[in-house]
Amino acid sequence: MDNTNTRSTLLSPVTIHQWQLRNRIVMAPLTRGFADDREGTVTDEMVAYYEQRARDGVGLIITEGINPNLAGKGTYGIPGLYTDEQTTSWKRVTDAVHRHGGTIIAQLWHVGRLSHSDLIGTSPVAPSSLAAEGRVHKLHKPYQVPQAMSTQDIADTIQHFQMAARNAVLAGFDGIELHAAHGYLIDQFINEKTNHRTDKYGGDTAGRLRFLRDIIVAVKKEIPVDRISVRFSEKKDDDASYAWADKAGMIDAYLNLFRETGITILHPSTDQYTKAWEEEQSFHERIRSRWDGIIIGVGELDVQTAEHAIGKGSIDLAAFGRPFIANPDLVQRLHAGQQLVEYNANAHLPVLV
């Protein structure tokens, strides 16, 4: 395959509904912990961080996870979108990104049971009172037994997601992403191992997907549905051994939900984009075989793999994570055919206790 032609695919402009993207390169959501820890507001460091990548020419930026309420906070320095101060502070980021012709969406992220009372002042919440194994990120304390959410707690949390979507619009974001992956709150409802409820939010697959469905229906009232992306995954950050018992059935259940609610942009997450997931197909290829909408590819992608995947139609956009930490000028380097700086956690991440 001629490298010049394929590269122009990745670097050529594309229209995704209302978004006029300069290229098909996405900056993946990356938890950096740069926010004011007490207030959950955006700092100067964050404004500079996003502006630098927008100036470089990235097509779409998906923010780090942003909490829709305090209970959603999973570690230190996570920003929120539930106070006026937080909303106003994000305007600095969206203004900077737009000034450079960029597009940016806010990822709404509630960690559920993967939090700690030291962070949020109360017991973590979850669909069921089942503790996760492992330790809280950066806090290094074991996960606590969460409080099972009442029907009212669930209704309140859905309302918090809706308010966060409204605040995202007020802050100037071009869209939102719902983080329904990796074993966080929405995924805790979907996962039969973490959801033992017997009410309408538990039981069969449809019941376990109801929380996500209700959140989508709520946030659609605040932002056009064609500006909403949903991130979902089989993999769980706190349970490496987890796998869907019925892979095909789960994919179909998700895709049916997305079709019914009008979602058109998916961000399926996996560790390795190229890894065979079922039979010969990768996770993204399996979804593509059943889905005509937009797919954002992710999973240790390199440029050649991304170009090939876009070229054959498996994905529409390619998300890069660590390469964007190591290369704020990633897009310019690709345009110029320069080699990328290899990501190194010691060199590129601040030392945090």
Closest of 102, 96, 20, 12 to residue 58, by C-alpha: 102
- Angle at alpha carbon of residue 282, lines to 306 and 320, rounded to 5°: 30
What single string gives the DSSP state of each residue in 305-351? HHHHHHHTTS-SEEEESHHHHH-TTHHHHHHHTPPPPPP-HHHHS--
- Give DSSP secondary structure letters for 149-170: PPHHHHHHHHHHHHHHHHHHHH
Q: Which residues pair with 261 in a beta bridge?
A: none
What sign has the CA pseudo-torsion 251, 206, 124, 154?
positive
Tokens 């000034």 correspond to 99
Amino acid residing at 62? I
Cα-Cα-Cα-Cα torsion 14, 15, 20, 23, nearest 10 degrees, comes to: -20
**Catalytic residue list contains 184:** yes
d(CA 274, CA 216): 29
49, 82, 184, 254: which one is catalytic? 184
Contact 16, 265 (CB under 8 A): yes
Helix 210-219 to helix 151-170 angle (10° resolution) is 40
Beta bridge partners of 266: 230, 295
The Cα 4–Cα 185 span in angstroms is 43
Neighbours of 293 (CB within 10 A): 15
Active site residues: 184
